[in-house]
Amino acid sequence: MENSSSRVDGGRGTGQTISKTFDWSETPPSVAVVRLLSVATNADPTEVEPLAETVDPDALDRLVPSMDAESHLEFTHCCLSIVLYGDGRAAVESEDC
């Protein structure tokens, strides 16, 4: 189940951080990333730059749910920093590009 709480605040970079908690058994990490990217860019999910331009979505969906709760995976997509945690947390923050 997807946690309904989300947070937008000033982050460690130059922009805002958008974060949300997901249940990886119900929401694949690739879907969670696209949802957060659409919020961060104020665009429809179908208008977000394809995730496959940066990372293999299938590999993401296999790797992240298998990580322990303290582990995280971080990558940049379209000048946005994405961090996924084994415990279901996901965050997107704008970066300087």
Q: Is the pLDDT of residue 39 over 60?
A: yes
Split into its structural domains, the chain has a count of: 1
> Is residue 1, in this structure, part of any structural domain at all?
no
- Chain-centre distance of CA 33, in angstroms? 4
* pTM (predicted TM-score): 0.83
pLDDT tens-digit series, residues 62-92: 999 999 999 999 999 999 999 999 999 999 9
* 21 located within any domain: yes
Domain holding 10, by residue range, is: 6-94
Burial of 65 (0-12, 13-18, 19+ CB in 10 A): middle
Q: Is residue 86 part of a domain?
A: yes
